[in-house]
Structure 1
Amino acid sequence: MIDKFKIACSIFIALLIVDQVIKFGFAHFGWGVQGPIISLQLAYNYGVAFSMFSFLAEYLKYIQLTLVIIGSFYLYKNQYLFKEYYLAIALLYAGGLSNILDRFTYGAVVDYVYWHYMFEFAIFNLADVLIDLAVALIIYKQFRNSKKSQETL
């Protein structure tokens, strides 16, 4: 358990730092590149995915931080879940806390990856990708565990 915790903390810290450095570059140094498929350009998201709940902009950071704290207490009480999903949890916390840190630092989430080939897609960032990857890992493990339990019946 201690080894998995150390691995998860290392992944969390490394990804949080990488994401924050990239966002700092876009927010303060004017980084940006226009491409035919994907452009890298600064955008501030005052809501959550696809700018939903942007009317809660000032309160979202507190709501999200509360959810992270509740989730942390839940993981503490159910440590077997951390043991099983430590990699996904590290990714989820790195992405989630990085976006929450943006809200406290910039007043909104710093987004910068803009897909615009054939259709316009939302602008997103590395933290969003980490959160999506964490959810995909959790779903994969759930399917795998479900399949294993069905095979044993």
Structure 2
Amino acid sequence: MSDLQQPDPVTAKRPLVWGRFSSLVLAVALTGFVLDQTSKLWLLFGYGLGVNGPIEVLPFVEFVLVWNRGVSYGLFQQDSLAGQWILAGLTLAITIGMWVWSARCQSKLVALALGLVIAGALGNGVDRFAYGAVVDFVHFHVGDFSWYVFNIADVCIIAGVAGLLYDSFRNGPNSAAK
């Protein structure tokens, strides 16, 4: 058998669906997803945030109801049903891609980070399918300065991306892809 016919030992051992840290990724993703959805469901239907109005948590933090029909920071707002389904479909495709990446990763940090991103993507993705928009509710503000409104899924995504960036700088430019 020639070298051209033999499988590459690196890619031959790379799983597609379940890998070394998949249990960790699944646990982190499920935990983040449940926290995100539980908070949204309670604020929407338990407290009735849309009816009862904002909740002041601290002088600079309040819970308000904002329906985000776009992506991060309200970019690419989609008012049409087709646009909302495209965003939902992209969320699903990205989540599948992240899972495949996580099945192949060789680092706990990368697995944890990908689990967080998956948690956030699933949390916001379920909102898109259920409501046609993402439920955002945490609002930071100081005086006239107002930061954007976000949710637990967004925190998971930001923390996951920060972990991936940290790993890429810690071990070299391509370490997160390994």
TM-score by length of 2: 0.72
Tell me how far apart the structure 2 counterparts of residues 39 and 25 of structure 1 sit (CA, whole Å).
15
Provide, for residues 93-138 of structure 1, a one-character-per-residue CA deviation record: whole Å limited to 9, x for no partner. Answer: 0011110011111211111101121411110001101100011111
Q: Say whether 1:127 aligns with 2:150.
A: no
2:39 is aligned, of 22, 46, 52, to: 22
Q: Say whether 1:5 aligns with 2:22.
A: yes
Contact 1:61 1:104 in 2 (8 A): yes
Between the two proteins, what is the percent identity of the paired residues?
31
User: Amino acid of the residue matched to residue 33 of structure 1?
Assistant: I
Post-superposition shift, 1:7? 1.9
Moved more, 28-37 or 12-21: 28-37
The secondary structure found in structure 2 opposite 1:53 is coil
Moved segments of 4+, more than 4 Å: 73-76
User: Amino acid of the residue matched to residue 92 of structure 2?
Assistant: L
2:133 is aligned, of 84, 108, 111, to: 108
Ranges in structure 1 where 5+ consecutive residues have no aligned partner? none
Post-superposition shift, 1:73? 4.3
User: Amino acid of the residue matched to residue 120 of structure 2?
Assistant: G
Moved more, 93-102 or 66-75: 66-75
Contact 1:26 1:41 in 2 (8 A): no
1:98 is aligned, of 100, 105, 123, to: 123
TM-score by length of 1: 0.83
Provide, for residues 26-74 of structure 1, a one-character-per-residue CA deviation record: whole Å limited to 9, x for no partner. Answer: 2212244124211111211000112111133342111221232344445
Contact 2:120 2:156 in 1 (8 A): yes
Give the number of the structure whose alpha-carbon radius of gyration is greater.
Answer: 2
Q: Say whether 1:37 aligns with 2:60.
A: yes
